[in-house]
Amino acid sequence: MLRQKGYFPEGEIDREIPIHDRTGKNLRLNTDGSIIPKGQHAKDKVSFKIGKVVWGQQSDAPEKVILIEEILWEDGRKELRFGYRTITHEKGAWWWGESALMTPIEDIQELLHLARKNGLLSI
């Protein structure tokens, strides 16, 4: 079972998760982002907004927060991004997880239920 969990609706600007890193800072989430498409250059980056978000602190790894984010593209498409933030070993600050998400099945089921309850999923 997730230690803590929550939801941010689309349009909410202050997205602070009350779990602090070793520097004492709470996890703050962005409301926008960008990517550089494969084979392109920095000048070709594509921007997106982050709509609804559900999050949960992993049950067996309190330094890890799992995220399901609604990605809103400028052309009207919507996608879901599954990811996590973790605390770095060296500095103890929040960092975007760069490896595949590995988490207990129960944690992901609980987060998917929260996503469905808040309109990120319709299944």
Q: Residue 60 above 90 pLDDT?
A: yes
Q: What's the confidence (pLDDT) of residue 83?
A: 97
pLDDT of residue 49: 98
Alpha helices by DSSP H, listed for the chain, are 105-117
For residues 84 and 98, the answer to whether their CB atoms sit within 8 Å is: no
Give, in degrees to the nearest 5, the angle at Cα 59 between 78 and 109: 45
pTM of the predicted protein model: 0.92
Distance CA 71, CA 52 (A): 8
